[in-house]
Structure 1
Amino acid sequence: MAPVTYTAVHKFPIDRDSRPKRPRPSWPVVGLFILAMIAAIAFARDFLMPITFSILLFFVFVPVRRRLSRLGVAPGVTAAGIVFSLFFSIIALIWSVSGPAGQLIADMPDIQSALTEKLQRLRGTFETIDTAMTQIEAETGDATATGEATNAEAVASTAGIDVASAILNGLATTPGIMGQVALTLFLLFFLIASGDMLYLKIVQSFDSLREKRNAYSALREIEESLGSYLGAITLINACLGVAIGLAMWAFGMPSPLLFGLLAFSLNFIPYLGAITGVGIALLVGLVTFSDIFWPVMVAVVYLSFTTLEGQLITPYFVARRLQMNAVVVFLTVALWAWLWSVIGMIIAVPLLVVISVICDHVPGLEKLGNFLAGDDPVPLAEDEPAPAAVREPSGSLP
C-alpha cells in the first residue's frame, strides 16, 4: 500500500485515493445505528434541545451578522444585540400573557361550575337517544345511560382539578425551562460572535476542493432556506394571530389577546397546532356562551382562518422549493413530538429543511432529497416504440 501524504498545515490527506477504502456498513448495522441515535436523542433531550435551537437560530441570524460586519460592526456587538433583542422579546411576551393567564387562574372555579352545567345540558340533550336505546335493549341501555351519567359527572367534577394540576406542573418546570432558554441564548451569542470560524472549520474538514465548495454552498443554502422559511412563517403567523384575536374580540370571547398569541404560537406546529387551537376555542366558547350555536361558530371561524392560511397564503408566499412532502412533514412532526414533545413539533419542519438541503448537496442522497421535497413529480414518459427495421433492397442498383 502506498504511503499517505498529508498537508503541512492541517494534516489532511492530499491524495484521497491513497487512503485505504473502508467497507460499507451493512443494512443491519445502519438500522442499529438509527435506533441507537433515536434513543440517544430521546435520552439527552434536556441537553440537545437548547443546542438545536441555538444552531437553527445561528443560521437564521448569520446573514444579519455578515451584513453588519461589512458596515464595520464587530461580530461580538452584533451577537450581543441579537441576544438581548431575543431576551427582551421573551420578557415582553411573558408580560403580555401574564395578565390574561392570571385572570384565567382566578376564574377557574367559575369555569368549573360553568363546565359542569354545560355537561349536564349536553347530557339532557341526548336523553331522547338514551331512551330509544333503552327501549331497544333495556338492560344494556340502562347500564350505558348510567355509565354516561357517571362519566359526565366525573369529568365535570375533575375538570377544574385537572387544569389546576396542569398549571402547578407547569410552574414546577419553570426553572428548567429558564435554564434551557439561558443555555440557548448563551450558545447563540458565542456562535454569532465567533464570526466565520464555524464555517471555516466545517469547510476545512473536507479534503478536495470540490467537497469544500459543496460544503460551503450547502451552508449558505441552509441559512438562506431557514431564513426565508422562518421569516415568512413568522410574518404569516403574526397576521393570523392578529386576525384570530380580532375575531375572538368580535365574538365577545374572554382574553382575545391570549387567543391571538396562542394562535401565533400554535401555528408553528403543522396540522396539530390548528386542531389544538380549534379545540381550545370550542371549549372556551362552551363555557362563555349559553347555547351551542356560538361556540360552534367560534370554532368554525378559527378553522376557516387556519385553513385559508394553510391552503392559500403559506403556499403563495413561501418559495416552492421550500415546500415539503406533506406525508413526510406529518410523520416528522409525530416523531419529534414523541421525542421532544411540543418543542420537537416546533423544530421538526426547520430540521426537515436542513436535511433536505444536505441531501441535495451530498452525492448519493439525491433520491432522498427528491422524496422529501414537495414539488410535483415529473410525469413518467411513455416508452417509445422501437423504430421499424429498414429492409435492404434485394436487387442491385441499376
Structure 2
Amino acid sequence: MRVLPSERLTPGHGEGDPLPDSHAEQPPVIRRTEFVAFALAGLLLIAIVTVLYVGKAFFLPVVMAFVTGTMLSPAASFLERRKVPRSLGAILIVITVTAVVTFVVALIASPAIEYSTRLPELGGQLKEKLHVFDRPLALWRELQTMVGGSEGLPDFQLPKFEWVQPTLEFLSPTFAEFLLFFATLILFVASWGELRRALIMTFSDRNARLRTLRILNEIEVHLGNYLLTVTIINVGVGVATGIVCAVTGMPNAAGLGALAATLNFIPIIGPVAMFAVLVVVGVVAFPTLGGGLVAALAFGGITFMEGHFVTPTIIGRRLALNALAVLLALAFWTWLWGPMGAFLSSPLLIVALILKEHLLPTDAPQLPQG
C-alpha cells in the first residue's frame, strides 16, 4: 500500500492521521511598487526644491504675492461689503501697505546710511571701547601657546566690513522682482473671488468641492488673523524698543524701534539680529561698555516676554505651531529664498498644517491612549 506524504507517521500521531499543514510566518517585505512609489515621491520633492531654488527670481515674488494677497483678502472683502469695487479696493490696500512700508524703510534707512558712511571710523571706536577685553585675550593667547600654538584655536579679531556690499545685494531684490510682486499682488487681491470659484468648480464631486471651500476659507481666515495679530504684536515691540532707546539715550530711537518691529516679523533670527544691532550701536554711542548694553538687555527682556507669554497666549491657541516645526521651516525657507523666505516660513507652515488637517483621511490609525 502506498503511503501519501501527508499521511506519514510522526511522534504523537496515530496511524492514518495526516500531518497538519504548517505555514511559517514570513517577515514583512516592502513590495516593489511601494519602493518605486517612495523613490518617485523623493525624486519629485527634489525636483520641486531644485526648481524653486533655481527659479527664485520668478517663484519668490509670485509666492510672496499669493501669501500676502491671501492675508489682505479679508480687508478687500470688507471694503467690497461697503460698496467699494474689489479692483479699486485692491489698489487702495496695496497703496496703503506700500506707504506704510516706505515710511518704515525711511525711518530705518536714514541712520543706516549715516552709519554705513562712517564704518571705518565706527570700527576704530568699537575697537577702542573693547579694550577691556585685552587682558582676557592675552590670557587666551597664552593658553594657545601652552597647548601648542594657535593652529588649533581661533584668534579673536574684529569683524571686517567687506560683507556690507554683498549683504545689501542679497537683501535687495531687483526692480523686475518688485514689479512682478506688485502686479501679481494687485491682480490676485482683485480677482481672488473668481480664483476661488474656479478652483472649487474644478472638482466634479460635491464632497471635494465642499472640502476645497473649507480649506480656502480656513487658509484665508488663519493667514488674515496671523498678519493682523503679528503686526499688532510687532508694532508693540517696536514702540517699546523705541521708548527704551529714547530713555537710555540711544541715537535714532525711532529708527531703532522701526527696525525692531520689522525684524520681529522674522522668527528667531530677527530678534537676535536686533539684539546685535543694539549692542554695536550702544557700545559705539556710550562712553562705557555697561551703559551701551542697557538698551540691548532691555530689548532682550521685551522679546523674552513677547516670545514666551504674549505671542503664545494670543497666537498659540488659534495656531498651535510646534517650535521644532517653526525652526525647521525657518531654516529651510531661509536657505531657499533668503530673508523673504524667512518671512514666508510661518505662513507657509500654517498653510501646510491646514492642508494636512483636511486632506489626511479621518480614519487614519491613531496612537493608543496611555
- Would you say same fold, with TM above 0.5? yes
Indicate if the aligned counterparts of 1:241 and 1:261 stay in contact, CA closer than 8 A: yes
RMSD between superposed Cα atoms in Å: 2.8
Indicate if the aligned counterparts of 2:129 and 2:289 stay in contact, CA closer than 8 A: no
Indicate if the aligned counterparts of 2:108 and 2:259 stay in contact, CA closer than 8 A: no
Match of 2:67 in 1: 56
246, 251, 272: which is aligned to 2:248?
A: 251
Distance 1:130 1:196 in 2: 67
Distance 1:348 1:316 in 2: 20
Indicate if the aligned counterparts of 1:75 and 1:195 stay in contact, CA closer than 8 A: no
Match of 1:273 in 2: 270
Match of 2:50 in 1: 39
Match of 1:113 in 2: 124
Superposed displacement of residue 345, structure 1: 0.8
Distance 2:150 2:164 in 1: 30
79, 88, 99: which is aligned to 1:88?
A: 99
* Equivalent residue runs for 1:173-192 within 5 Å: 174=172, 176-192=173-189
Distance 1:105 1:288 in 2: 15
Indicate if the aligned counterparts of 1:65 and 1:75 stay in contact, CA closer than 8 A: yes
Distance 1:224 1:172 in 2: 33
| TM-score, scaled to structure 2 | 0.82
Indicate if the aligned counterparts of 1:245 and 1:256 stay in contact, CA closer than 8 A: yes
Distance 2:301 2:175 in 1: 35
5+ residue gaps, structure 2: 1-32
Match of 1:27 in 2: 38
* Equivalent residue runs for 1:65-104 within 5 Å: 65-104=76-115
Query: Structure 1's 354 and 296: CA in aligned 2 closer, same or farther, altered over 3 A?
Result: same
Paired amino acid for 1:213: L
Q: How big is each residue's C-alpha offset from its partner over 1:317-347, in whole Å with a ceiling of 9 and x where there is no partner?
A: 2251312011111011001111011111110
Indicate if the aligned counterparts of 2:76 and 2:89 stay in contact, CA closer than 8 A: yes
Segments of 4+ in structure 1 off by > 6 A? 365-368
Instruction: Say which is worse superposed, 214-223 or 295-304, in terms of deviation.
Output: 295-304
Q: How big is each residue's C-alpha offset from its partner over 1:44-74, in whole Å with a ceiling of 9 and x where there is no partner?
A: 1111111111111221222222232233221
Distance 1:359 1:284 in 2: 45
Query: Structure 1's 305 and 177: CA in aligned 2 closer, same or farther, altered over 3 A?
Result: farther
Indicate if the aligned counterparts of 1:359 and 1:366 stay in contact, CA closer than 8 A: no
Match of 2:7 in 1: none
**Structure 2 SS opposite 1:281:** helix
Q: How big is each residue's C-alpha offset from its partner over 1:215-245, in whole Å with a ceiling of 9 and x where there is no partner?
A: 0111011010001111101110010011111
Match of 1:170 in 2: 168
* Equivalent residue runs for 1:151-166 within 5 Å: 151-152=155-156, 155-156=157-158, 159=160, 161-162=161-162, 166=164
Distance 1:367 1:123 in 2: 62
Indicate if the aligned counterparts of 1:278 and 1:302 stay in contact, CA closer than 8 A: yes
* Equivalent residue runs for 1:333-348 within 5 Å: 333-348=330-345
Paired amino acid for 2:105: I
| TM-score, scaled to structure 1 | 0.76
Indicate if the aligned counterparts of 2:70 and 2:189 stay in contact, CA closer than 8 A: no
Match of 2:195 in 1: 198
Identity across matched positions, percent: 24
**Structure 1 SS opposite 2:311:** helix
Distance 1:360 1:91 in 2: 38
Superposed displacement of residue 41, structure 1: 1.1
Indicate if the aligned counterparts of 1:359 and 1:365 stay in contact, CA closer than 8 A: no
Match of 1:228 in 2: 225
Superposed displacement of residue 92, structure 1: 2.0
Indicate if the aligned counterparts of 1:263 and 1:277 stay in contact, CA closer than 8 A: yes
Paired amino acid for 1:100: P
* Equivalent residue runs for 1:318-329 within 5 Å: 318=315, 320-329=317-326
Q: How big is each residue's C-alpha offset from its partner over 1:175-219, in whole Å with a ceiling of 9 and x where there is no partner?
A: x43332222111111112225110011101112101101101110
Match of 2:10 in 1: none
**Structure 2 SS opposite 1:270:** coil
344, 347, 351: which is aligned to 1:350?
A: 347
Match of 1:307 in 2: 304
Distance 2:166 2:270 in 1: 23
Distance 1:93 1:227 in 2: 21
